[in-house]
Structure 1
Amino acid sequence: MYEELASVEQEKDRRNQLWAELAKKAEASSAPASVLNELKIFYGGRGIWVDKATTQGVGNSEYGVTVGLLHSGAAYADDLFDDGAIYHYPKTRTPGRDRSEVEATKAAGRHRLPLFFTIVPQRGQNRIVKRAWVEKWDDYLGLFFVSFGDQPEQPETDDEIGEDDFVLTIHRSSEERRVNRPKRAARFKYDVLQYYGESRCSMCSIRASQLLDAAHIVDVSAGGSDHKRNGLILCASHHRAYDAQLIAIHPNTYEILAASDVSLEDLGINSNSLAHLLKKPHIKALSWRWDRWQARSKFEGEPIAKDNS
């Protein structure tokens, strides 16, 4: 056990030294690929770089421990945020290697080892390199949550995660309220995806993760919290429709209602309620949104909803 811990600490020191050497050779915000290859911060053509020759056996990991993750900047662009990223498990024609890379990335998370998250803004451009930490993963969804920063986030315990911990609103800075990219955007999307347990729009059949958002029910501009039950998985179109108050969800029945000048069919919504969801958003969040939708409809002198039958 002592040798295992020592090996992990040695690997952490090695990675810290690599970060220091990178700072001497290039800016982390504009690092040439040649420098990353030279230091072996990232190497090879796949999205996950393990450097198995160096990391195999660290923490008793037979697969090694991931050193770097590559994000092309194009694929899954909506899963890349200022505070972190949602990183998808590899799915290639070599499933055995995919599995070993996934296990090596989990090992980086278990041992709290930093890794190098490399972003390629456009083909031919220098890379952006962020110090990153694997915080969570979900085998069913095939997703990692990776945070950016000098230190990993404090891991949550089961005692800290309960159904009674719901917070409707929080204090947000004026900047957070002004832009719809809250400080913890990456974690929020990951937590909402994991809570509902599927990568699919709650209102239609779209499953392509590139088109899915985590939508706040109590929106950011009103101080809505980043609690998972203040969120819904919506495709980009239905997220936009929800924010524009073209649709609302009844807090008691989970029925989806359309504004008076459109129908659910017009909006491409093929489910008339959220009853199919195994887990539901919080009634306090739905009630807050419902009250404001009703108030707006009354102010505009319109019927609250159109008969969608």
Structure 2
Amino acid sequence: MKLLRVGPPGQEKPALLDREGKYRDLSGHIDDLVGNHLNASQLKSLAAIATDELPEIDGDTRIGPCVGHVGKFICIGLNYSDHAAETGAEVPSEPVIFNKWTSAICGPNDDVKIPRDSQKTDWEVELGVVIGKAGRYIDEADAMDHVAGFCVVNDVSEREFQLERCGSWDKGKGCDTFGPLGPWLVTPDEVADPHDLGMWLEVDGKRYQDGTTRTMVYQVPFLISYLSRFMSLQPGDVISTGTPPGVGMGQQPPVYLKPGQQMRLGIDGLGEQRQRVVADE
């Protein structure tokens, strides 16, 4: 299934994308796509619904983040060998973990705001993993049982805030609108191999990122198991798993986003995002 949330910010309702590309209203069955509705039993019940009997929603309706009320937005840094190389960094001996604040989350086609005093706002297309089953100390062999689905993430990053100012990466990663999620939450039965997906990102029609999840260093089952050693994973948590090469800071010379530009990005089978870049007021 391809699940989504549609409507104005803060008023989104759950929906399903049918085989004809129409949005179908699920609000008669669940109140929202949030943690307690992302378990395997609930998803199986949604999959059994006759979609042509669900009310149709106007296709021009705004798409919101594909998961509501996210508890944790956990990110993995330098997790693609070719991206590490372009930044001059070594592949880490253990996953690099940082956080995006949940206030960074926005819809896949919402405007991305360049923060005040920013000179180095950058882009990163990433595979997002949405947790559907809680767990601690999860065995790697069981890790995929904890996945509700996958989505596209744009890990927007302010590089000066992240790397040149003292403190953690987090303050360059969690600015408002720096975490577009969606358009769809795609259930695992529709993703044959999350480690064999093409992914790309364009700015004003120029393709900067054109990679594949095949170059991911630490794969999804390992990441879930690893993270669960240090925190419990809860339904609705999102893990953003790293980016392939082609980010702005890796260009020669570096290229960063400016107001008025347009980003377009996607991952095979998971849909596309489109964002206009604006200056924050």
TM-score by length of 2: 0.28
Larger Rg: 1
Which structure shows the higher helix fraction? 1
Q: Specify which structure has the bigger relative contact order, considering alpha-carbon pairs within 8 angstroms and separated by 6 or more residues.
A: 2
